[in-house]
Structure 1
Amino acid sequence: MSFFGAIGSFIMTPLYYVISVVMIGFHNVISKLLEPAGGASWVLSIVGLTVVIRAALIPLFVKQIKSSRNMQMLQPKVKELQKKYGHDRERLAQETMALYRDAGTNPFASCLPILLQMPIFFALFRLLDAASDGDPRGVLSKSQAEQFGNAELFGVPISKTFITADGDIGVQIMALFFVLAMLVTTFLTQRQLMTKNMPESAMTGPYAQQQKMLLYVLPVVFAVGGVAFPIGVLVYWTVSNLWTMSQQFYVIRRNPAPGTPAAQAKAERDAHKAARKGHPVVEEPGSTMIEPAPEPPRPAKRQQPQRKPRSQRKQPPKKRS
C-alpha cells in the first residue's frame, strides 16, 4: 500500500498546487466583492478554476472533434471491411485500425478530454475533503483551508455529499440538484453530437452503437458516482459539462461535418444571410438547399456614333461663279 500511496502522492501533489494556486487567485479577486469566508466566493472560485482548465483543454477538444468527424466519414469504408472480413474478427480489427491510421484519426481521441480531467477532478475532491478537516493542501493556508472546508452556499456546506448528509434535507436537495444537472448536461451534449453532426451513413455500425451506448451509460455512471462527491466537486463537473455543451454547439454550428443536418442548416442560414444582403434567392421544388437566383440579363448598351475626323467630314459643294 505504501508503494501505491507514494505513486498517488507523486501524481496528486503537483495537482494540489496547480488547483490551489488558481483557486486562491480567483478567491483573492472575488473576496473584494463578497465575503471571503462565504460559500459564494469559494464556489465562484471553483467556477473560475473550471474555466481555466477547460480553456487549457481547447486544443484537445478541437482534436477530439476532428477525430470524431473523420471516424464518421470513414463509416462507409468500415462497413465494406465488415462485409469483406466479417468472418475473421482479428483480420477485421487489423484492417479497421489500419484504415483509421491511414486517415490520421484515433478512436480513442474522443476520450482524451475526459481522461485528462479525471486526475484534476479527484485532486479537487481530495483538496476539499482535506480542507473540511482543516488540513491544507497545495498553497492553501490553515485559515484558508478552514474557510474552504466550512464554506456554505445558501446554508449548505459545499464539502458535504448526498451520502454524508446525515439527514440534512438542504444538503440532499442541493446534491441531487447538481447530480441531475450533471446527468442532463452529459446526456444533451452527447445527443447534440449524434443528432446534429453525424451523417446518415454513420448512424449504423459499431461507431454508432458506441455513441448510443455512451448516450445512456455515461449519465447513469455520473449519477451513481455523483452521490459520493462533495457539492463543490459537483459544481466543477456541472460547469465543465455546460462548457463542453456550449463549445460543441459553437463548433458544430460554425464548422459542421459534411452531409449532416448541421451542415444543411448552415447552408440554409448562409443562403438567407445572402438574401438579406440583397442577393435574390430561389428554392427549387423538393430541394432543401436555397441557392441564389441568376441575375436577369442586362439590356445591351446603345452604341454611340463615332465622331469622324475633320478631313473625313463631307465638305459642302462649292458655288459656281
Structure 2
Amino acid sequence: MMKITVASAFALSLFTAMPAFAQFDPLAGSSDAPSGGSTVTVGSADFPESQLLATIYAKALEAEGFEVQKRLNIGSREVYMPALLDGSIDLLPEYSGALLSYLESGSSAHSPEEVAAALKEALPDGIAMLEPSEAQNSDMLSVTQATAEKYGLESIGDLAPVGDEIVLGAPPEFRTRQEGLLGLKEIYGIDFQSMKPLDVGGPLTLSALLNGQVQAANLFSTDPAIAANDLVVLEDDKNLFSAQNIVPIIAETKLTDEIAAVLNAVSEALTTDALVTMNGRLANQEGYEAVAEDWLSKNDLN
C-alpha cells in the first residue's frame, strides 16, 4: 500500500490549516508596512515555492540596502498579474512558459530561449523581465507505479486510449488553459473521465493521487514528493508543456540597474536541484526565511 511521506503529510497539514487564514488579504494595506515610493513590494503566488522565491528576492534586496515589503500568497496568475499592473506589487517570481501562455495563448515557443524571447515581447507595457534562471519547475503529469503498470503508461500520449477511465487532478484554472485540458485534448487527443479541481500541484493533489481519488495529477518537476513516493512522470513527447524557467518580473517604475544586478545574480545562482532541496526543507517544517537565508549565504548573496 502506498503511503504519504512525512514531508507530504506535513504539507497536507499546512493545507488543512488554511481555513484559519481565509480572511487574510495579502493585497490589503498594513499599518506597519514600509511606505514611500522607493519601497519594492514583492509578491508571490499561493504555493510554497513561489513564496520561497519571493522571500529570496526580498532578502537579497534587503541585504543590499533596499527597502522591501512582502505581500505573499496572493493567489493564481489571474489575480497577481492585475496586482502587478495596478501597482499593488512591484516584483514577483514567475515561470516563463506559463506566463507566456497566460499572455499569449497561441504561442508555439517551447525551448528556454524561444520562450524568453517571446515572453519579452508579450509582456504588458510597464512590466519588464530580468534574466531567466536555468532553474525550471515544469508542469508534468504523474501517476502512481500501480496506475502506470495497469495501463502501460510511459508517456502522456499513452493516456489517450484509456482516458475515459482516468480522473485527472489539477488546479481549477487547468480546465481552461492551453497547457492544460485544452492542449491535452487538442495535441494528445485525451478525453478524461473528469477533472477534479484541486490545489496547484500541492498536498491536496498529491493526497488525491496517492489515495486513488484521481489516477493522474498535474505536479511539478521540483516537487520532492515525486521521488519520495516513487511516482511515474509521463514523458511529454509532443511538447505540450513549454520551458518554465524561473524569472523575476518587475514594474519598470521600480527597475534600476542596482536592483537588476541583485536579482540577476540570484537567477544566475539558482538551479533546479537547489529548488528540489529547498522545497524538501519547507515540507519538513522549516520556514521560508531560514531556507532562503541559508541558500543566499551558500551563494554569497547576503
Please confirm whether the aligned pair reaches a TM-score higher than 0.5, indicating the same fold: no
- Compare the two structures and name the one with the higher strand fraction: 2
Under a length normalisation based on structure 1, what TM-score does the superposition of the two structures give?
0.23
TM-score normalized by the length of structure 2: 0.24
Larger of the two Rg values belongs to structure? 1
Bigger relative contact order, structure 1 or 2 (CA pairs below 8 A, ≥6 apart): 2
